[in-house]
Each structure stands twice: as C-alpha cells, then as structure tokens.
Structure 1
Amino acid sequence: MPSFCAGLGLTFSFAAVVLLVFGQITQINSDLIPRHLRIVSIDTSGLGVAVASAARSAGVTGTVVGNGSDIYASTGVGEAYFVKKTGESPHAGLYKVYEWGLWSYCTTQGDLGDARSYCYTRSIHPSFQPAQVLLQDVNVEYAEVLKTVLPDNVFTADTYLGEWTQAATYLIMAGSLLSALTAIVSFFARRGCAFLLASLLNLGAFVGLFSGAMVYTVIVARARSAINDATSAGTDVGITLEYGNGLWVVWAACGLALCAVVPLAFAMCAGGARKVPSSEERLKERLSQEPSEVVVVANKEEQ
C-alpha cells in the first residue's frame, strides 16, 4: 500500500510538471500546438472605429478618420517573426490580436492561433500591461487619440497590472520548480523522511501554483470587466479581452499538485512507521519460517 501511494503521488507530480512545461513554452515557440495556448488575449479589431470617431472629434486628419484601417501595422502575418526586440523603434502600428503568456507577448494580424507576426520576449521581467503595449505600437499621430479612447480605469493601470502579474508569474515559476523537485524526490524516496520532504515540496508547489493562478484570474477578470463593455463618446471601444486556455493549464497543474498531497502524506506516514527489527525479532521470524529445522534440533537434544 505505501508503494502504491508513493507511485500515485509521483504520477500526479510528474503530470503537473508536464503541464507546466507545456504551458510555459506557449509564447516562445511558433509550432502549431503551442501557439494556440495563452494566458490572456486581446482582440483590437474593433478599435479602429472608436479611434476614427475620437479623431474626428479631435480634428485629426488622415485615413483613420475615414475607416480606421491605418492604425494597424502593415506587416503581413508570419513576416519578421521574433524581430521586435527591446529598444526597437515603436509606433509601427497596432496588431489585431495580442496574446500574453507567462514570459512574453505575441501578436498576429489574423485570428487566435494564426501564425504570429512578432513576439516580444519579457525575459525575467514578466508583466501584463496592455495599455502600454497598445500605446507604444499605435502610429504616433494617433497616440493621443488612443489615450482618450482607452478607459481611465483598471485596464490602463499599468503599474497595478504589471506588479501583480509579475508577482503571479514568479509564484507560478516557483511552484513549477517545486513540482519538479517533488517528482524527483518521490521517484527516489524509500523512507519516511524522504516522503516527508516530497510532501513538503508538493505542498509548496500547490501554494505557489494556486496563488499565482488566482492572482492572474482575478487580474484578468477585473481588466476584462473594465474594457469589454467600455465606450468612448457613445462608441464601443472595440477591444475584447478574454481568458486564455494557458491559464486553465496552470489551474489543472494546481489540481494535480493538490491530488498528490494525500498519497504522498500516506506514504510518508507508512514509511516513517516502519521499524528496523532487532536481532531477537529477526531470530524469531527465522525460526517461525523454518519449522523443520527446529524439529530436527529438538530430536537431537532428546537423544
């Protein structure tokens, strides 16, 4: 029974690690399956109408006043992939879809899951700051107009969103590392103290993953309610923010870490309860397993 529980805990831990690795490569890999996963996505395809309306009100001239099409980048889908790096000149135009992962954000001029136009790597400074990204991408002549269109609330609170999502990403990363350590220790564990260590690591992994996933869920929910129904001068802002399926991958890994708590704890208790038999106990056990030899010895003593 202890071996079964240890194996069950190891299975849950290993499955959580696989999900977490898979979820964290979503924004750094252009393969078909990874690019369909994201923590949060923003569709700006309706933003041109709101900007055009605000531009007319502000007296801005240009194509944007007519149809709003020239606020978007002209880069074709799949071209210049991964070319936008830190320090590159911004204001090249908006993209229609933005997708945030744990470590970077990507864009495309098509639908979710299409080949991405570029990805911006955030390295060790992860944060979700959608308003800042839109304002640095939009053409310079429409930047001020876009500021008037975006609602002055949670969606544009870049410091608030950035700091909390940065903390959430670090928590998820810490939980991922602890999950990996749990799987490694569980694989080699044979005694109660080793299972105790695995249980503590697994508990830490669950706390990290749960806290990080919860923060992301709350932040995305608040930003979503702030922007999805927002209007500017009676015109829909035209931005749709949605949860990404990558967030549910993190929640699934969190659930697997929770499932591993009970079997690892049981294996710890059962492993710790094992006692090393004394020499007298080992002799008694041997005699009980060899009755024929005992009889022979007894007969010799009688003679």
Structure 2
Amino acid sequence: MTGYGQGLEAALGDPIGGLYAKNASAPLQAKEGIRDIYKFGLYSYCGYLNGSEGVCSNVSAANRFQPFTVITADMLSNYTGLTTALITEGTFIDSTYLGNFTNAAYYLILIGTISAALAFITGFLKHTLLFLLSTVFAVIGALALLIGATIWTVIIKKAESINNFVVGSATQPVPLGITVSTGDALFLVWASWACLLVSIMPYMIRYSGFCAMFEPP
C-alpha cells in the first residue's frame, strides 16, 4: 500500500493528504488512515506502518480474507468513495467471494491439523486398530490440508490481479500501488501437507507389519 498514494494522485491529478494513518496504534477500520502493509491470517489481520509498528484486529476463528473491505474501512470517507469508483472490477474487490472461500479453507486446514495430531498420537500406540486409525487420520489430514492450501493459493493468485492495475493517462500509466503477495504462513501449510503425505506410507507399513506378526505360520 506504500505506493497507493502516488497512484491515487496520478489518477486524480491532485495532491493527496490524509490517506495514511499517522499513528501506528490507531484502531483498524475506524477511518484513521490506511497502513503501509496489511498481513492477513487465519484468526486475525494486522496493519503496519514503517514495516513493523502496527496493530492487529480482534482474534476470531475463520477470519475472512477481505482486503478491499478492510482497506476502505481505514480510509476517510472521501477516499473510500474515490477508491470504490476507481477500482470497479477484479477479484480483489469481491469481498464476498474471497471471504466465503477463505472461510471454507480455514475449516479444511483446521480439520487437517486435528487429523494430523490424531495420526501422530495414535501412531505411537501399539494396537492394530490404532495403527489403522493413524493411517486414516493421516489420509484425511493430507486431503484436507491439500484442499485448504489450494484454495488459499488460488485466492491469492486471483487477488494479485490488482498488482497490474494502472492509472493515469494512456501515454504515462502509473501503477495503482496496491500489491498482493503470498505470506510465509501459506508455505508452512504446504509444507505440513507434504510432511503428512509422506507419513502415510510408514503408517500403512507399520499397520501391515503389526498385523503380519499375529498371522498364523
């Protein structure tokens, strides 16, 4: 968001003032000004000035990824209207679409996480049924994490279309200044899926080997 002021100035042809927050601890969605950086997670989102100073929203389960709603709620009313009139198409402004899909992805990741924990616990206990359950939990967890991570990846890629949005004259186009990128958390989800996927075969082998021990000669 650091370049949005310049982009808005190029679009309007007038100097921009009061767009950004002056106080890093100012509450979010209170029309106190936008932040330089916004980071969205599964349980909350945060807005930062100067890269590190900022404040986060209240923690809640299944936090929805709705960047356009969040950003415009931080702007003064006049800038909210200008931004809404300026950006009229693209996935970035479709808060309902982004919110619904990321909400579903949250529950899939939650199911995957719980299943991974259950697979880990049951995999340590020496019982035929529990070995089977650990395999089942690992399969369910890997599938849930795969779908959840895929949804988030697709959503972010679609939201990144705003990165190519330009304003100004046709002869001197200027980037809008809003940039969407993937954070570290999504890479961790993909890594978790890979680890759980790799663990499925050892769980299955352990179950098969344990059963073979009790087969009659």
Instruction: State the 1:185 CA deviation.
Output: 0.9
Asked whether 1:92 is paired with 2:92, we answer: no
Asked whether 1:158 is paired with 2:95, we answer: yes
Residue 102 of structure 1: SS of its match in structure 2?
coil
Residue 272 of structure 1: SS of its match in structure 2?
helix
Asked whether 1:245 is paired with 2:184, we answer: yes
2:174 pairs with 213, 235, 246, which one? 235
Residue 106 of structure 1: SS of its match in structure 2?
strand
Q: Distance in 1 between matches of 2:135 and 2:17?
A: 56
Q: Taking structure 2 as the reference length, what is the TM-score of the superposition?
A: 0.91
Q: Which has the higher contact order (CA 8 A, sep 6+)?
A: 1
* Letter paired with 2:40: W
2:49 pairs with 104, 109, 122, which one? 109
1:264 pairs with 184, 196, 203, which one? 203
In the alignment, what sits opposite 2:193? Answer: 254
Instruction: State the 1:151 CA deviation.
Output: 4.5
The more displaced of 163-172 and 226-235 is 226-235
Residue 83 of structure 2: SS of its match in structure 1?
helix
Residue 126 of structure 1: SS of its match in structure 2?
coil
Instruction: State the 1:218 CA deviation.
Output: 0.8
1:167 pairs with 104, 117, 126, which one? 104
* Letter paired with 1:267: R
In the alignment, what sits opposite 2:78? Answer: 141
Asked whether 1:74 is paired with 2:22, we answer: yes
In the alignment, what sits opposite 1:199? Answer: 135
1:178 pairs with 106, 115, 125, which one? 115
* Letter paired with 2:78: E
CA 1:259–1:160 in structure 2 vs 1: closer, same or farther (change >3 Å)? same
Moved over 3 A (4+): 53-56
Instruction: State the 1:240 CA deviation.
Output: 1.0
Does structure 2 retain, via aligned residues, the 8 Å contact 1:192–1:270?
no
Does structure 2 retain, via aligned residues, the 8 Å contact 1:210–1:251?
yes
In the alignment, what sits opposite 1:6? Answer: none
Residue 250 of structure 1: SS of its match in structure 2?
helix
The more displaced of 151-160 and 198-207 is 151-160
- Spell out, residue by residue over 1:14-34, the C-alpha distance to the aligned partner (whole angstroms, 9 max, x if none): xxxxxxxxxxxxxxxxxxxxx
Q: Distance in 2 between matches of 1:50 and 1:160?
A: 26
Instruction: State the 1:154 CA deviation.
Output: 0.8
Q: Distance in 1 between matches of 2:129 and 2:112?
A: 21
Instruction: State the 1:122 CA deviation.
Output: 5.0
Q: Distance in 1 between matches of 2:198 and 2:17?
A: 50
Q: Distance in 2 between matches of 1:184 and 1:236?
A: 51
Q: Distance in 2 between matches of 1:165 and 1:71?
A: 28
Q: Distance in 1 between matches of 2:140 and 2:30?
A: 41
Q: Distance in 2 between matches of 1:73 and 1:45?
A: 12
* Letter paired with 2:32: A
Q: Distance in 2 between matches of 1:257 and 1:204?
A: 10
Instruction: State the 1:126 CA deviation.
Output: 1.6
Q: Distance in 2 between matches of 1:123 and 1:251?
A: 23
Instruction: State the 1:232 CA deviation.
Output: 2.7
Q: Which has the larger radius of gyration?
A: 1
Q: Distance in 2 between matches of 1:181 and 1:69?
A: 54
Aligned residues, how many?
213
Instruction: State the 1:51 CA deviation.
Output: 2.0
Does structure 1 retain, via aligned residues, the 8 Å contact 2:106–2:148?
yes
- Spell out, residue by residue over 1:161-205, the C-alpha distance to the aligned partner (whole angstroms, 9 max, x if none): 110111111111110111111111112x21322110000001111
Q: Distance in 2 between matches of 1:149 and 1:237?
A: 10
